[in-house]
Amino acid sequence: GAVVSQHPSRVICKSGTSVKIECRSLDFQATTMFWYRQFPKQSLMLMATSNEGSKATYEQGVEKDKFLINHASLTLSTLTVTSAHPEDSSFYICSAHISTEAFFGQGTRLTVV
Amino acid sequence: KQEVTQIPAALSVPEGENLVLNCSFTDSAIYNLQWFRQDPGKGLTSLLLIQSSQREQTSGRLNASLDKSSGRSTLYIAASQPGDSATYLCAVIGSNFNKFYFGSGTKLNVKP
């Protein structure tokens, strides 16, 4: 099946710093990628839709300036958590679709201390 | 707005048992439904994809059914094994193709 690679798998950062998470489609091109956040024992919450060559579309309640998304190429989308705080600690997952089948990255565990 | 519900939230069974996980959705205008497996701290692995025109899909010991009109899907796992222990998520995508709606998952524990 198609492969979506996410990096890093884990990151610990100090409060106030910024963290960048990468999502790559390894064997296909993705004009659209999706970023999710998952709280403990809960399902995935869509944060934003990343569009290659244009601005991301954010879900209601998600701060655009807090979660910066860049989709500069057909195989790479990045999510930058700016001025991270402990409440941003979570599991972040990206996905890309081939037709309507979704393929997910391995996820990134962010811990802000 | 589409809402996806999974029952039960957690399930513990002895090894070898057959089991059924349930998924329901409120808006039947879906394009397809996908079942995923998630291991602790990991991403999602796609198990089965059922298109709206299909009634079921099978892969090994897994069988997923879809009744679009009633807004239901089931994932049947035959002869469960400890390695099947994980959280199982179902998700639907609408005809606009732009958003998946996830259920909250069923956490399965298969005891040796």
Q: How far is residue B106's CA from residue B87's CA, in Å, rounded to a whole number? A: 5
Q: Please give the Cα distance from A66 to A69 (Å, whole number).
A: 10
- Are the beta carbons of B102 and B89 closer than 8 angstroms? yes
pLDDT in tens, A80-109: 999 999 999 999 999 998 877 889 999 999
Interchain proximity B46–A102, CB inside 8 Å: yes
Residue labelled with tokens 């037709």: A99
Q: Is the CB of A5 inside 8 Å of chain B's CB atoms?
A: no
pLDDT at A40: 80
- Give me the residue from A1, A93, A107 closest to B46, CB to CB: A1
CA pair distance B67, A1, nearest whole angstrom: 26
User: pLDDT higher for A25 or A43?
Assistant: A25
pLDDT of residue A71: 92
CA end-to-end span of chain B, whole Å? 41
Is it the case that residue A33 has pLDDT exceeding 80?
yes
Residues 87-106 of A with CB under 8 A from B: 91, 93, 95, 97, 100-106
Reported confidence tier of residue A1, pLDDT bands at 50, 70, 90: low
Q: Which two tokens stand for residue B107?
A: 């956490």
Tell me which residue in B45, B89, B93 faces A43 most closely, judged by beta carbons.
Answer: B89
Residues of chain B with pLDDT under 70: 96-98
Taking the CA of residue A86 and the nearest CA in chain B, the distance in Å comes to: 18
Among candidate residues A89, A91, A94, the one with its CA nearest the CA of residue A79: A94
Q: Which residues of B touch A102 (CB under 8 A)?
A: 34, 44, 46, 91, 93, 100
- Chain centroid to Cα B84, Å, comes to 13
- Identify which of A12, A69, A104 has the alpha carbon closest to the alpha carbon of residue B36: A104
The phi and psi torsions of A9 (rounded to 5 degrees) equal -80, -30
Q: Which residue in the set B34, B91, B104 is minimally distant from A42, CB to CB?
A: B104
Q: Which residue has the tokens 């400890």?
A: B82
User: Looking at residue A75, what is its pLDDT?
Assistant: 93
